[in-house]
Structure 1
Amino acid sequence: MNQRIYRLTLLAMLITIAVVGRLAMQYIPSVQPVTAIIIISGYLLGPSAGIIIGVATVYLTNLSLGMGIWTIWQMIAWGSIGLFAGIIGRFQWKKEKKILIIFSFFAAYYYGLILNSSMFVYTDKFIPFLLSSLPFDTYHAIGNVIFVSILYPILKKALKRTNNKLQ
């Protein structure tokens, strides 16, 4: 029972860090640590943790930033990024930080693709949204690379200590 409470508390703390990071960085378009935190957490804690952190972060931040038709698509995008990161984490990598940096770069464009696909559902237009979002997706990708580079060693050390306590 204590392990479940400990894991739930850990997830709540990671969600809180992601929420605070997104709200603090909201004035810089498409640059926030959320994707990096989801990727690192999913990679180190597993697919379910990545999904939970992704979906909960969207819900909690959008309570402040505004809910809309995009909310469910953001949940799908960030939740699936957490899932994919968790699947990548199931394998042994020699240069895991490099793998996560590459994944985080492409995850930004994947996130943009999901959100642009949602606009196709509602407006029947895709290419204009895709083209207009490319600069913002690029900012997101560059931000992801920076945040993963900075946060991965810190979170890996903290979560390694935590995983030892969980086992």
Structure 2
Amino acid sequence: MVILGVLVLTCIWQDAYLVLSFGLVVIVILFFFIRFETRKVEARELVILAVLASIAAVGRIPFASIPSVQPTTFVIMIAGFVFGAESGFIIGAVAALASNMVLGQGPWTPWQMVAWGLVGLTAGMLRNTRLMKWNWGRIVFGAVWGYLFGWIMNVWGFLALTQTGNPPTLASVFLYFAASASFDSMHAASNVFFLLVFGNIWIKILTRFKRKYGFLE
């Protein structure tokens, strides 16, 4: 819905692509942060969310030289699956913001916050479905998000490109998205790898912590 809203508004107001897109992104982020703040969350629960966000953020740094390959999406997805949609969104958004303090902040940061936030959000929303309870279903979910993440970031990149005065065309949109296909495939493949190797053990560990200490019930 966010991406659709951005595209519709940018078609109407063609002189303010980035203003409109960033406005929508900020609204989404504030909505979830405010909603999360209204919940009764104990200090110990905030600690576990902060730790998971830190792990997701730090996980990007060793893999920074390999485009699109990192365990960040995997950590956010598993966190959302275990602790719920809102917690998953917060972990994803904070992980993007925190990791960019090392890798570099920029106008792309809000989009990464939303994209990774949506990974955690959707993992939490679908956690009780047959798809996510099945190991291969989670793997398919991770592979799909490897591409969805890239497409969300492509929207930002294309909007930034149109600000330079290049009129958007259907062909330019297709070429722009096609150019990122290899990177998106690497992201999807890395998600599959981490889910295959570490997925079940991470779910068991985090679920044990959740049940033992009553985190975010």
For 1:98, the aligned partner's letter is W
For 2:185, the aligned partner's letter is T
TM-score normalised according to structure 2 size: 0.71
**Sequence identity, in percent?**
37
Counterparts in 2 of 1:35 and 1:164: CA distance versus 1, 3 Å: same
Counterpart-to-counterpart distance in 1, 2:178 and 2:147: 12
Maintained 8 Å contact 1:116/1:126: no
Counterparts in 2 of 1:126 and 1:70: CA distance versus 1, 3 Å: farther
Q: 1:153 aligns to what? A: 200
Counterpart-to-counterpart distance in 2, 1:53 and 1:63: 16
Q: How does 1:6-155 map to 2 (within 5 A)?
A: 6-91=44-129, 95-124=133-162, 125-155=172-202
Maintained 8 Å contact 2:146/2:187: yes
TM-score normalised according to structure 1 size: 0.91
Please identify which structure carries the higher helix content: 1
Counterparts in 2 of 1:96 and 1:116: CA distance versus 1, 3 Å: same
Q: 4+ runs of 1 displaced by more than 2 Å?
A: 90-96, 124-129
Maintained 8 Å contact 2:92/2:117: yes
Structure 2 residue runs without a partner (length 5+): 1-40, 163-171
Over the aligned positions, Cα root-mean-square deviation in angstroms equals: 1.7
Q: Which has the higher contact order (CA 8 A, sep 6+)?
A: 1
The number of equivalent residue pairs is 165
* Bigger Rg over Cα: 2
Q: CA deviation at 1:23?
A: 0.7
Counterpart-to-counterpart distance in 2, 1:58 and 1:94: 24
Maintained 8 Å contact 1:46/1:87: yes
Q: CA deviation at 1:161?
A: 1.3
SS of structure 1 residue aligned to 2:113: helix
